[in-house]
Chain A
Amino acid sequence: MEIIFFYLVALVAVVSGFLVIRCQSPVNSALGLVNTFFCLAIFYVMLHAPFMAAVQVMVYAGAIMVLILFVIMLLNLGTEARKRYTHGIVWSSLASLLVLFNVIYFIKRGRVTGAEGDITTFMVESVGHTELIGKAMFTEFLLPFEIASVLLLVAIVGAVVLAKKQV
């Protein structure tokens, strides 16, 4: 039952991703991308990571996609005009297929091994995913967390400076 659900969600994710790269109108691409984000959020729930699913829906499907749609609306972008230059569709297909086959080959080649931690599924369900994330983030990863806040500040200032007419 679960595997059927998985294949269903994977199919929807891949078809929506296909819409992102093939739709002529940027708005349709954006809607396809929102669909993909929701499918990935479902995957995160299936992987016992509900907090990441919530963050995925709020940050990606909420904030970032609203920003992108806002810019599409602001620039009044319609359907793409006729092709002025031919881009190497053949070479691009070859490059992406090469990427795909490489990754699939490495996935099929061996088993995933590594240092196993002590966060079992039972522990995630009994303690709570958010609490575990918070503990890891504010003890072990405190310095990267602070650096990320500086990065966001730089992004805010940079966006304001770039979008202003006169600085």
Chain B
Amino acid sequence: MISVYHYMSVAAILFAMGTYGVLTRRNAIVIFMCIELMLNSVNLTFIALSRHLQSMDGQIFVFFVMTVAAAEAAVGLALMITFYRNRDSIDVDDMNLLKL
């Protein structure tokens, strides 16, 4: 029998992998994809817990997380296009205008 803990363990592994990707990769788009991975693992936790507690609120939360992720994708990718136009690179090491 699959319990809620199984789903939460999978979500924990995916979240940790997303953390590792955000901290090590240099390509901004790959970092963005790792953030999407983390958001999705949280979505999985929300749905597993909402099913476990027999409530609908967690699934509504997932809906809003998806909305925010879509908005983030639109604005973030536009930012990356603007950055690429100015610097000819999408490497986060080149984003150092605020550095002393």
Which A residues fall within an 8 A CB radius of B?
Answer: 2-3, 6, 10, 13-14, 17-18, 20-21, 26, 29-30, 33, 36-37, 40, 43-44, 46-49, 52, 55-56, 59-60, 63-64, 67-68, 71-72, 74-75, 77, 80, 84-85, 87-89, 91-93, 95-97, 99-100, 103-104, 107-108, 112, 114-121, 132-133, 136-137, 140-141, 144, 148, 151-152, 154-156, 158-160, 162-163, 165
Contact = CB atoms under 8 A, between A and B. Distances in A.
Given A55-B66, A158-B74, A21 B27 contact: no
Contacts of B33: 20, 26, 29-30, 33, 68
Interface residues of B, number: 70
Q: Give the secondary structure class of B's interface.
A: helix
A71 B60 contact: no
A26 B7 CA distance: 28
Q: Give the secondary structure class of A's interface.
A: helix
A107 B70 contact: no
